[in-house]
């Protein structure tokens, strides 16, 4: 796992085992606020060990940015922390999260000790602040990647943990295309110092607006292709021919897995649009 310091008291941990998923720690005199907890306990334990033994800082709050396994499985390793998430995160962890864990545990003994840990504090449409020591982390709903996605702003440093609202490629198959577009617009022109993505590298101040604009252009491009597909005799074949680079994105990030995400995006959006057209008839 890689460790990086993005401000005096803010650390980012990036998994070397699963899709460069990130977790963050905001460190104060009174303890740490941990944002997401990775997938494999081995890596989460390394974070815990670093914070507790190297920085002498106990995790007081765990924030779950959304219910997906790669962001939440480590939460159970912090039984004394107050867990915070969106109300929908609670519901989805309790249902799909439990089902997914059971399946995952059949696949590997490494997850044997993982348990679903539900948020103790949930919020809905308004923003809430998690305050500890001299830091304030503001949370708000940012749906699109998943229905329960949130983002977390460390107000004093203007560092945003965007979770999967920002990653190498917008990915909305478990969420909603329209929500994603809205959530990205909400992140524009906020003068963030830097943004920690849910997967991949930290985005620096000078790159933020370009990155968001590029994601919005990508989403517009795939919508155009999904609409064109519905006029074709073989829509699936048409969509298979729409390369990620034709939509303005590189095929390289996340070890090339973005290409599979792109394909799923196109199919999911096409199905959604086709469904809407059927309803209109
Ligand atoms: Zn996710």
Q: What is the pLDDT of residue 69?
A: 98
Q: What is the pLDDT of residue 254?
A: 83
Radius of gyration of the chain (CA): 19
Q: What is the pLDDT of residue 274?
A: 84
226-260: pLDDT as tens digits? 999 989 999 999 999 999 999 999 998 888 889 99
pLDDT at position 123 over 60 = yes
The Cα–Cα gap between 46 and 48 comes to: 5
Q: What is the pLDDT of residue 275?
A: 80
Beta-carbon neighbours within 5 Å of ion ligand 1: 68, 164
Would you call 80 exposed, middle or buried from its count of C-beta atoms within 10 A (0-12, 13-18, 19+)? exposed
* Cα 234 to ligand 1 centroid, rounded to whole Å: 31
Would you call 221 exposed, middle or buried from its count of C-beta atoms within 10 A (0-12, 13-18, 19+)? middle
* Cα 163 to ligand 1 centroid, rounded to whole Å: 8
The Cα–Cα gap between 279 and 33 comes to: 46
Per-residue buried b or exposed e for 253-274, using 16+ beta carbons within 10 Å of the residue's own CB: bbeeebbebbeebbbbbbeebe
The average pLDDT across 115-123 equals 98
Q: What is the pLDDT of residue 157?
A: 98
Residue whose pair of structure tokens reads 């304030």 in the numeric block: 136
pLDDT at position 281 over 60 = no
Residue whose pair of structure tokens reads 């959006």 in the numeric block: 269
Give percent of the chain above pLDDT 70.
98
* Cα 66 to ligand 1 centroid, rounded to whole Å: 7
* Cα 22 to ligand 1 centroid, rounded to whole Å: 11
pLDDT at position 278 over 80 = no
CB atoms within 10 A of CB 126: 8
149-204: pLDDT as tens digits? 999 999 999 999 999 999 999 999 999 999 999 999 999 999 999 999 999 999 99
* Cα 129 to ligand 1 centroid, rounded to whole Å: 22
Give percent of the chain above pLDDT 90.
93
Q: What is the pLDDT of residue 235?
A: 93
* Cα 104 to ligand 1 centroid, rounded to whole Å: 16
* Cα 233 to ligand 1 centroid, rounded to whole Å: 34
6-23: pLDDT as tens digits? 999 999 999 999 999 999
Question: Who contacts 257 (Cβ-Cβ below 8 Å, separation ≥6)?
Answer: 19
């Amino acid at each position: 796992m890689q460790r990086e310091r993005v401000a005096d008291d803010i650390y980012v941990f990036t998994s070397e085992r699963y899709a460069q998923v990130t977790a963050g720690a905001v460190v104060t005199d009174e303890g740490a606020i941990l944002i997401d907890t990775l997938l494999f306990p081995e890596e989460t334990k390394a974070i815990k060990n670093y914070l507790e033994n190297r920085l002498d800082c106990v995790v007081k709050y765990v924030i779950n940015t959304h219910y997906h396994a790669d962001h939440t499985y480590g939460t159970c390793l912090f039984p004394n922390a107050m867990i915070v998430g969106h109300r929908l995160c609670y519901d989805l962890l309790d249902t799909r999260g439990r089902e997914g864990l059971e399946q995952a545990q059949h696949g590997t003994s490494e997850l044997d000790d993982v348990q679903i840990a539900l948020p103790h504090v949930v919020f809905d449409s308004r923003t809430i602040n998690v305050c500890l020591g001299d830091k304030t982390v503001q949370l708000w709903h940012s749906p699109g990647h998943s229905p329960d996605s949130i983002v977390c702003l460390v107000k004093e440093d203007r560092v945003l943990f965007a979770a999967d609202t920002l990653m190498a490629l917008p990915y909305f198959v478990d969420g909603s295309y329209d929500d994603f577009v809205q959530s990205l617009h909400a992140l524009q022109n906020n003068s963030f110092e830097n943004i920690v993505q849910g997967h991949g590298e930290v985005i620096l101040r000078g790159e933020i607006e370009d990155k968001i604009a590029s994601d919005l252009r990508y989403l517009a491009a795939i919508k155009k292709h999904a609409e064109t597909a519905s006029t074709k005799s073989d829509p699936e074949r048409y969509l298979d021919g729409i390369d990620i680079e034709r939509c303005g994105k590189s095929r390289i990030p996340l070890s090339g897995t973005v290409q599979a995400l792109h394909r799923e995006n196109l199919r999911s959006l096409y199905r959604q649009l086709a469904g809407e057209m059927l309803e209109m008839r």
